[in-house]
Amino acid sequence: MDNVLNGHGLGLAYVNDPKIIEKLDQEEIFEDLAEGAYDALVFRPERWRLADHDHLVLARANRSGRYLGLLAASTDDSGGVPFLNIDTVFIAPEARELDLFQRMLALVVLRMEGVESAPSVITACTGSSACMTALRQVAACCPGAVLFPQTDSPLVSLGTASLARRLAMQIVPRCPVDLATGRVQGHRPQTLGVLDLRACPPETVVEAARGLCRTRPSRAALRAALGEPALVRRAAKS
């Protein structure tokens, strides 16, 4: 387990050791993240246990110890194309100006690159427009990256659309995906997002991830996330 951003009163911890993940207090984590109006940007009910994932990032306020965000992801393969699937993302409302989704995802990319290689494809099935916006912002940091669906462009990358079709059969089996909009036809309104980094040099992806991790949060965002109200709610629960 390691930490970044500690100098700003906020710690991001990356974990990929199953033994360490098993020892985490999952009840406390979800108790913090399920409080009030917390929304899951991404959630796969069949993988609700933290130990079911290959990569885990936790965002926590250093002073109060309160959890402000969680990203869990798993590595998989589709027809010889390895990909990183984002399984679960929770971010506290008061921490949403900290770009935690982008920072947590960037930390996973960096740690994967240190052990094997940075992912060339990242996927997420989400009902949140905030998740798609975050993926779009990550794509903008990587020249050559293509995000499916390409709702802001009249041009469609046939290679990425074909990849999305193949991935959809694995990520959301038995649920057809509209290749024009990315919408998954099922009982919940969701969109399949595919960030295609295959045309990006690995060093470009890594440098973009470093930049996302190193960007200093604004003071206003830090005050909103780490301010007194959050500390009071945490004390009241203990």
Please state whether beta strands 2-4 and 39-42 pair in parallel, antiparallel, or not at all (unpaired).
unpaired
At 101, list the tokens.
């989704």
Cα 214 to Cα 29, 42, 168, 210, distances in angstroms: 25, 24, 33, 6
Q: Is 215 exposed, middle or buried (0-12, 13-18, 19+ CB in 10 A)?
A: middle
Each residue's pLDDT tens digit, 120-137: 999 999 988 888 999 999
Each of the 238 residues of the chain gets a pLDDT tens digit; together they read 556 666 678 889 999 998 999 899 888 888 887 654 445 677 665 556 888 899 999 999 888 888 999 999 999 998 888 999 999 898 888 888 889 999 999 999 999 988 778 899 999 999 888 889 999 999 999 999 999 998 666 566 788 989 999 999 899 888 888 888 899 987 578 999 999 999 999 999 999 999 998 888 888 888 888 874 444 344 444 4
**Omega before residue 149 within 30° of 0, cis:** yes
Q: Residue 115 pairs with which residues in a beta bridge?
A: none
How high is the pLDDT of residue 230?
A: 42
Can you list the domains of the chain with their CATH numbers? 2-230 (3.40.630.30)
For residue 168, which of 177, 160, 158 has the smallest C-alpha distance? 177
How high is the pLDDT of residue 38?
A: 47
Amino acid identity of residue 122, one-letter, is I
Q: Residue 90 pairs with which residues in a beta bridge?
A: 40, 70
How high is the pLDDT of residue 238?
A: 45
For residue 122, which of 137, 207, 232 has the smallest C-alpha distance? 137
